[in-house]
Amino acid sequence: MKGIFTALMCSFDEKGQVNEKGLREIVRHNLDVSKVDGLYVNGSSGENFLISTEQKKQIFEIVKDEVGDQVKLIAQVGSLNIDEAVELAQFVTDLKYDAISAVTPFYYKFDFAEIKDYYNTILENVDNQMIIYSIPALTGVSMDLQQFGELFENEKIIGVKFTAPDFFLLERIRHAFPDKLIYSGFDEMLLSASVLNIDGAIGSTFNVNGQRAKQIFEFAQDGRIEEAREIQKVTNDLIAEILENGLYQTIKEMLKTQGVDAGFCRKPMKTLQEDKVLKAKLIAEKYLKV
């Protein structure tokens, strides 16, 4: 369960339906070209919070069918609807996903007792292992070292996807819980997290930049920091241009230049205007050498 995991994107058609052919192509690109160690399915990058329960199940099924046992699969099942989260957790466990993950419950100002009960409720109903998905900037939920410790008391909770710039807390978690898995969630901070001895990373830009992510992570592990820093610099140049042009839409357009039917984003995400489509192609030519 260690290494570089792509936060998998999903191909949708113009009506917002899952494009199975395109989704399979995105999966194959990640496995055959980027050669990542695993896939994180139905997270933010998969537009999970914009789709129905049945679409989520459809995506889980297609990805598992395409991947088989080739790489590790983590299924993000978190939802404000606890019944949906449990239903999806059971569904992917039956599909033999290697682990489940769940974003912290958001929007309502849940206290920590409610957050802890949310995770424990999911795990009471499924025989699988859990990766906490902590992303305070989008959920508004920040947890401290003691609270992570309380969650980790549940032996089924094996780690955390840590998408935050708090490297002090990251180091404290690493020191206090050496047996738990820590995945970095900020692609632009991969090197900084890697020197703190994380176990891997989960990122959206790995859909097009997985090879560099693997190099950064592996070089940092080998103590080749200067080489890793140079690759992180190029990676951050790429990320800056992607963000300026539109994150998910640009990654999909870049995948299209690689022959991948990456489709469209679901509304209310906008469709890129022609000038931004052209810019995405130029970014791909610059960084992907197409």
- pLDDT tens-digit map of 219-251: 999 999 999 999 999 999 999 999 999 999 999
Decide: 45 and 207 in contact? Cβ < 8 Å: yes
- Helix, strand, coil fractions of the chain, as percent rounded to 5: 55, 15, 35
From 133, 183, 248, 287, the catalytic residue: 133
What pLDDT, on a 0 to 100 scale, did the predictor assign at position 81?
98
Q: What is the average pLDDT across 132-156?
A: 97
pLDDT band at 289 (very low <50, low <70, confident <90, very high): confident
pLDDT above 80: residue 56: yes
Question: Across residues 103-110, what is the average pLDDT?
Answer: 96
Q: Is 21 a catalytic residue?
A: no
CA distance 91 to 64: 12
> Cβ distance 60 to 75 under 8 Å?
yes
187 known ligand binder: yes
Q: Any binding-site annotation on 185? A: yes
> In this predicted structure, what is the pLDDT of residue 14?
96
Q: How many other C-beta atoms lie within 10 A of the C-beta of residue 70?
A: 12
Q: Kindly state which CATH superfamily the domain 3-224 is placed in.
A: Aldolase class I (3.20.20.70)
pLDDT digits (tens, 9 = 90+) for 257-273: 999 999 999 999 999 99
Catalytic residue among 56, 64, 72, 161: 161
Q: Where are the domains of the chain?
A: 3-224
Residue 163 assigned to a binding site: yes
Is 133 among the catalytic positions? yes
Computed over every residue of the chain, the mean pLDDT equals 97
Longest alpha-carbon distance in the chain: 51
pLDDT at 100: 98
What is the rounded CA–CA span in Å between residue 218 and residue 222?
6
Q: Is 261 annotated as a binding residue?
A: no
Confidence at residue 231, expressed as pLDDT on a 0 to 100 scale: 98
pLDDT confidence of residue 132: 98
Pairing of strands 72-76, 3-7: unpaired
The reply, when asked if residue 44 is annotated as ligand binding, is yes
CA-nearest of 225, 115, 239, 227 to 186 is 239
Task: Compute the average pLDDT of residues 165-179.
Answer: 98
